[in-house]
Amino acid sequence: MCGIVGIVGRADVNHDLYDALTALQHRGQDAAGIFTCDLKMHQRKANGLVRDVFQPHHMQALRGRVGIGHIRYPTAGSESPEEAQPFYVNSPYGIALAHNGNLINAGELGEEVFRDELRHVNTESDSEILLNLFASELARARRLTLDEDTIFGAVANVHRRCLGGYAAVALIVGYGVVAFRDPCAIRPLCYGVRETPQGMEYMVTSESVALDALGFELVRDLAPGEAMIITLDGKLNARQCCEQPRHAPCIFEYVYLARPDSIIDDVSVYKARLRMGEALAEKILREWPDYDIDVVIPIPETSRTACLPLAYDLGVKYREGFIKNRYVQRTFIMPGQTQRTHSVRRKLNAIGLEFEGKNVLLVDDSIVRGTTSRQIIRQARDAGARRVYFASAAPPVRYQNVYGIDMPAMTELVAFNRSEEDVARAIDADRLFFQSLDGLVDAVQRGNPRLREFDTSCFTGEYVTGGVSARYLEQVAEHRADSARSARTAAARDAWELPT
């Protein structure tokens, strides 16, 4: 879950890239980077939020009317500053690339590009492997100058060799921006246009909110397997580069990852979440018609949209019972369990009068580890709630996501190998309601009936790309365990610590 953006403009794009990354900040708070080009290449990337990574003197140096940017989510194995994107290779042509997603066969591909194509990968990031793979495919054409057929052919070969979910933007020096989406369209990617007196400008990005923030008009999402080229002189060409595309976007984007004001694959995230709340209310009414709920309270902020129609359909008061400190990061995407635990305590403060002596239904977008849910329920009880019920707008998360969402090892998921009653006891809820998978799919699909399939692997354990073996899942689990992550983070900090 990273954020990417590419812009071909008529003037310097540095500030537009900065604003676009700021609009995408919810997709990752670990690192940020920008790469621009005029006659020379200019880049700045580091760990931290956008506002911290880019100071005025950095922005002044990022010259050029074409550029790409990246927001990094703290993926296991990519905690050090050297993992920040975009990545760059000099040969052929000079290419920078930013990537959102995960390659399942990254280990195999890394060996291939080193052994067969004599390319060195200097980090643990599969994004650098993807860059070298794309560069190698371009180099096979052995052309001094690029044309569209060569680029589209290179992307087609990337699709044939890569397995996983990925959306990427690449800047080819002296040529323009190339964007492509994986054959299942698991990770989101859209583009828009903005008319200026100097001519048309183009942006490719993970979410439409970045287009909105800069006055670009959303044109459409890239199709599964599609590639798009935007040249420096403002010409746009797109082509299907996959022989058997299969449209199965990640449904967790609609549950949690995306901003509610985004449009993804022609579905309003906001309206999808409203329908999630309606479906959850129907389930509660069906299973517990004589409920004794006094008040419905959302857990800020993602669940608010679903919580409103749920309260309305139940005929119960909706109240804001928690005040959020907006200067604390999203706990789901924090890199370590200790950080997440401490952050929950700092992030939310209960309003006692909304809880005192009441039976409270708390609503959240999902339950992953259960750590946050358990602490929030404890806060509600400490604030005087008589009984605390809990509802999740998503089904139980029981399996790892391998397509770019760095969910923990399955054994760290609170719903893994547990019934809903067991999960309720684990988080100390008096009663627990999960969304049904059918209800979730329907809530999204009603926004775009042409979407016939979704990646729901974190709920079902069924992976749309295939090729996900039990051994691979074991390796991912070992890599993502909090103990392993903490050790890597400490080692990376020690390696980058400056001498005093």
Are 397 and 415 in contact, with CB atoms under 8 Å apart?
Answer: yes
Query: CA dist 465 to 109, 181, 185, 394, 479, Å?
Result: 16, 14, 11, 22, 21
Cα end-to-end span (Å), the chain: 35
CB neighbours of 39 closer than 8 A, spacing ≥ 6?
none
Burial 151-163 (b: 16+ CB within 10 A, else e): bbbbbbbbbebbb
**How many angstroms separate the CA atoms of 249 and 240, rounded?**
17
The CA angle 362-365-366, to the nearest 5 degrees, is: 95
Tokens for 427, please give them: 């988080």
Identity (one letter) of the amino acid at 49? Answer: L
**How many angstroms separate the CA atoms of 352 and 378, rounded?**
13
Are 247 and 214 in contact, with CB atoms under 8 Å apart?
Answer: no
**How many angstroms separate the CA atoms of 456 and 252, rounded?**
8
- Selection from 348, 343, 290 nearest residue 314 by Cα: 290
Are 53 and 33 in contact, with CB atoms under 8 Å apart?
Answer: yes
Q: Concatenated DSSP letters for 224-264?
A: TTEEEEEETTS-EEEEE--SS-----BTHIIIIIS-TT-EE
Are 332 and 256 in contact, with CB atoms under 8 Å apart?
Answer: yes
> 3-state SS of the chain: helix, strand, coil percent to 5?
35, 25, 40
Q: Residues with catalytic annotation?
A: 2
Identity (one letter) of the amino acid at 214? Answer: L
**How many angstroms separate the CA atoms of 439 and 427, rounded?**
23
**Which alpha helices (H) appear in 329-456, and where do they start and end?**
337-347, 371-382, 420-427, 437-445
**How many angstroms separate the CA atoms of 306 and 279, rounded?**
9
Strand order in the sheet with 387-392: 317-318, 295-298, 359-364, 387-392, 431-434
Bridge-based pairing of strands 199-205 and 3-8 is antiparallel
